[in-house]
Structure 1
């Protein structure tokens, strides 16, 4: 069994301007206070003010006053170090201020997804023994009425924006709560934890099966991960991050919140996903942390628009991508110079610059993580000059395990392991890691902890990998592997990504456990289907086209063209159509946008069973 240690192998420059080390910070609140001391008047956060209808900048010094105010109010609650407090809000200054204030007092913060289901929230409140809960709006409180018994166990329920309606029984507006502490808020000092090993947060994984597990992360876990990430993706004080992934997502919290404090960058909070395109134009970020869905949607819209353009414009776009990719490979040192690169500046001006303008025109790096991004899609953006890199990690590792440096970027790879992270390859090619970022364990679940974390600190990731030239390539997830009736083992992720590269397929899930062949359950993009239906003479309603048997051959042909390089056992023999998209709301996706495979299988069991009628197992 091979053992690797990335401490001495990175070779990446660590010239970071004004970087606060994890050792200097000691704790997360200590990191913040050191940043305030170093650059008090620099812009820390940018947030849209709905009343003024403008973006408001807040300095580190301003933020410190806010943190002190929140902390003073929390001190009056009689909470003890180690007590758990939860917050359920969109990304905003108040999220960060509450978090830092609580952490400084030794409290343990438990972030909740703003759109999570009441049952999941109720489980977390009960499992973590939450003493205080901060909600953003009165509407959230109304949505949680199904878990009133769990809410009744809270010591305090706060609502940031209560509106004009009377508050629910037991709730208190944040304004009233904070106003009680106004006379003493000028005490000045902000408390901080001096033990880096102290528990900082419990983050509940959005499990695809069963109840979520609470991942216990210390101050040191998160600080180490942010500092190590900066060694592969350096950040500068003049960088502006755009924060739109939920801060309850550990990737956003570590890489999009803690890391910028460490490097002295400013963070702008996006208003919402529907307004993201507009926010990109107004904020013009230099750094963004994203999930594949963002790039998949932009790519799908690009393809839709191209389908309606002239043959000349389509050819121009393809030429720009081809030449841009050659230029990228040459710049990476993987290809020699070719005369066609002389056309690269003109093609970039005509095509690439317009695509980059959609992201604000200043993007220096876009880190994509949380799920795999199809290499085809990544190559298009990279070829058009969007500095897109992929990363990989788990909540259990705080979360980053690897990321591709800009100067050593392979789209099919999830990058190089962080400096200081050790890894080895176990049975079934499972990646096993050890680092100061590995969790303390699962809250209240010693058996589940022992199943993945040994006494020496090695964590089983559950992901299958191969390693090539120091880069990690994810080949599958052990629990998702499909075993066909003939014993052939098939990881579905690569097949699903390849199929989803066709803009017709909005969502894809490959099935075949215990079956003689693979099938696919798909959700279609309605706009693209309309064009396909016209071209193929199909009914306007895809369900009608599916019912009369004419749609499946069309879908099979398109899928087959996407899987030309796959082995025979990985081919899709049958296709079933899902009537509606899978979402968090219908409980078919987790809050981190992962498919709940077992739930989807159960919901579509009858339709999927019909695919195999007449076939021997």
Structure 2
């Protein structure tokens, strides 16, 4: 058993709640832009004073509608300015926010609203309204439904016109630090989602210590962050609250269709993302270079960036020759890549899955450091992250200051700290199992090095045991295979089987480019190319790269290219892009069987 902790850098208020932050900002930084709002395609600043006024206006409407302290109010929307406004408005009315993914099915909506006992729901679109209405007969406690695209904010503002600021402030003060701030339902990779109760204290401990440890990334009046992750996900929520706590300017994007343009216009200093985003940026840049006949230059530049970053971790540092090559490529390649990311950013924070050492070194080598972190819904997002000044690529960093990480005898990662959830809503049995002996049992397998840096090696429940008795952690090899531009998803199989296999889906965007470059028909698809020898050879190269990370017994011996994608709609992946292995295994049982019989 091994454990590591760091002293707290932030003292959690003994009382009070998250609404104190917006009143403090208005008092101490009245004219500082704390949010960016997109109006008619252009970003406009919202000052701390303006934001407080707009939050109060919406909160007045909620109070006028009869929302009481402790009531649960569902919020179902894409990431946008109104999400942040309404989240703080719900808290200002003394209520508890229940986020719902905008992609949730009617059955999921009914479960989350019903299990949480939501008395009201604020949704974004007519489609969301229809989804709620389709299950409303099964939600007897649901009274009100407001729609953002149908003027919900204006409607609430008008309804609360007679409610005073003093009334709102009095109501906002009802919640204490240990009262629930939100109930965030897990993605449900197995079984029904469980509602994680996160208190105001959880967010204070999480965001306060993270902001203090990453202080250069959160300079008031200088720094900004563009949020395009789902605000319904706990990682997106961390960004929201941390930005308000600092405060730094927060911009919200409902989708990433025009991400490059939005990065160029908002020009954030900090970007939050999942590995797939950073993989896409790299793969797109490489594909464009190849299309322009500059593929060899790009590959040399990438090799130099990786070598330069690796050398930074050595006592002697980069050699003179390496520094000269790096400087040349900075003008030719790296500067253009940083411009694609907005031109002002020096740091990004990545979570949700391992980024991989190759990409970690590549980004640091081009002057855009991606700091990996690790966390769960139950840990209020990040429970470990790489510090800005002592990054150790290949790990997910050190514990959140003020918390403890322990590795149990069986390798499971255990957590302790004020940032943790207090339990699962209406589920004492699951709570007792997860919070045994005062420690949260994550279900993840990991290691701690001598400096307290955590590395995650797999999921306890996802460990495959082959017929030969070999234990295999799928995540390591899956992440390596998925790093190839042509691969969209990879799921390793082999539990009880004679060897390890894999199901692979192809990235449709890059498949089109690959087909064109290799003289395939313009209308080629995964279905028409899945048995093409050249395509299979390219996929094999991705598999070989993955196999290089594991022992021979753990390596993928055979794979099947699938004709369709793993989708959220089909239930194959969660909104946070985690594989639902049981669903994939069921839907593609014939393909799995073919690996071992063909």
The two structures have a TM-score, normalised by structure 1, of 0.90
Pairing 1:612–2:593 present: no
Deviations 1:499-532 (CA, angstroms, capped at 9, x unpaired): 1122121211111111111111111124544565
Q: 1:287 aligns with which of 267, 270, 274?
A: 270
Deviations 1:432-468 (CA, angstroms, capped at 9, x unpaired): 110011110000111111111024x311111111112
The answer on whether the counterparts of 1:412 and 1:473 sit within 8 Å (CA) in structure 2 is yes
**Shift of residue 578 of structure 1?**
1.6
1:147-186 superposed matches below 5 A:
147-150=135-138, 153-162=141-150, 173-185=152-164
Q: Which residue of 1 aligns with 2:258?
A: 275
The answer on whether the counterparts of 1:24 and 1:31 sit within 8 Å (CA) in structure 2 is no
Deviations 1:170-225 (CA, angstroms, capped at 9, x unpaired): xxx54334312223345575232452111111000111121100000110011100
Q: Is the partner of 1:62 in helix, strand or coil?
A: helix
Q: Which residue of 2 aligns with 1:216?
A: 197
Q: Which residue of 1 aligns with 2:103?
A: 115
Superposition RMSD in Å: 2.4
1:104-253 superposed matches below 5 A:
104-150=92-138, 153-162=141-150, 173-185=152-164, 187=166, 190=169, 191-193=172-174, 195-234=176-215, 235-237=218-220, 238-253=222-237
Q: Is the partner of 2:119 in helix, strand or coil?
A: strand
Name whichever of 135-144 and 434-443 sits farther off.
Answer: 135-144
Pairing 1:307–2:295 present: no
Counterparts in 2 of 1:394 and 1:335: CA distance versus 1, 3 Å:
farther
Cα distance in 2 for residues equivalent to 1:274 and 1:575: 32
Q: Which residue of 1 aligns with 2:54?
A: 66
Q: Is the partner of 2:124 in helix, strand or coil?
A: strand
Deviations 1:109-129 (CA, angstroms, capped at 9, x unpaired): 101111222211111011011
**Shift of residue 546 of structure 1?**
3.3
The answer on whether the counterparts of 1:332 and 1:408 sit within 8 Å (CA) in structure 2 is no
Q: 1:398 aligns with which of 375, 380, 401?
A: 380
Counterparts in 2 of 1:525 and 1:219: CA distance versus 1, 3 Å:
same
**Shift of residue 268 of structure 1?**
1.2
**Shift of residue 326 of structure 1?**
3.9
The answer on whether the counterparts of 2:123 and 2:148 sit within 8 Å (CA) in structure 1 is yes
Name whichever of 430-439 and 400-409 sits farther off.
Answer: 400-409
**Shift of residue 497 of structure 1?**
1.1
Which aligned segments of 4 or more residues in structure 1 are displaced greater than 6 angstroms?
534-539
Cα distance in 2 for residues equivalent to 1:574 and 1:581: 19
1:361-510 superposed matches below 5 A:
361-455=343-437, 457-468=438-449, 469-510=451-492
Cα distance in 2 for residues equivalent to 1:288 and 1:448: 35
Unaligned runs of 5+ in 1: 9-13, 15-19, 164-172
1:17-32 superposed matches below 5 A:
22-23=12-13, 26-32=16-22
Pairing 1:590–2:580 present: no
Cα distance in 2 for residues equivalent to 1:353 and 1:300: 17
The answer on whether the counterparts of 1:324 and 1:348 sit within 8 Å (CA) in structure 2 is no
Q: 1:79 aligns with which of 47, 67, 72?
A: 67
**Shift of residue 242 of structure 1?**
0.6
Q: Is the partner of 2:503 in helix, strand or coil?
A: strand
Q: 1:34 aligns with which of 24, 28, 50?
A: 24
Deviations 1:18-47 (CA, angstroms, capped at 9, x unpaired): xx9642883111122112211112111111
Cα distance in 1 for residues equivalent to 2:99 and 2:142: 16
Q: Is the partner of 1:23 in helix, strand or coil?
A: coil
Pairing 1:602–2:583 present: no
The answer on whether the counterparts of 2:466 and 2:497 sit within 8 Å (CA) in structure 1 is yes
The answer on whether the counterparts of 2:16 and 2:173 sit within 8 Å (CA) in structure 1 is no
Counterparts in 2 of 1:279 and 1:188: CA distance versus 1, 3 Å:
farther
**Shift of residue 5 of structure 1?**
2.4
Q: Which residue of 2 aligns with 1:168?
A: none
Counterparts in 2 of 1:447 and 1:187: CA distance versus 1, 3 Å:
closer
Q: Is the partner of 2:389 in helix, strand or coil?
A: helix
The answer on whether the counterparts of 1:25 and 1:31 sit within 8 Å (CA) in structure 2 is no
**Shift of residue 595 of structure 1?**
1.0
Counterparts in 2 of 1:348 and 1:366: CA distance versus 1, 3 Å:
same
Q: 1:46 aligns with which of 2, 20, 36?
A: 36
Q: Which residue of 1 aligns with 2:336?
A: 354
**Shift of residue 92 of structure 1?**
2.6
Cα distance in 2 for residues equivalent to 1:25 and 1:358: 43
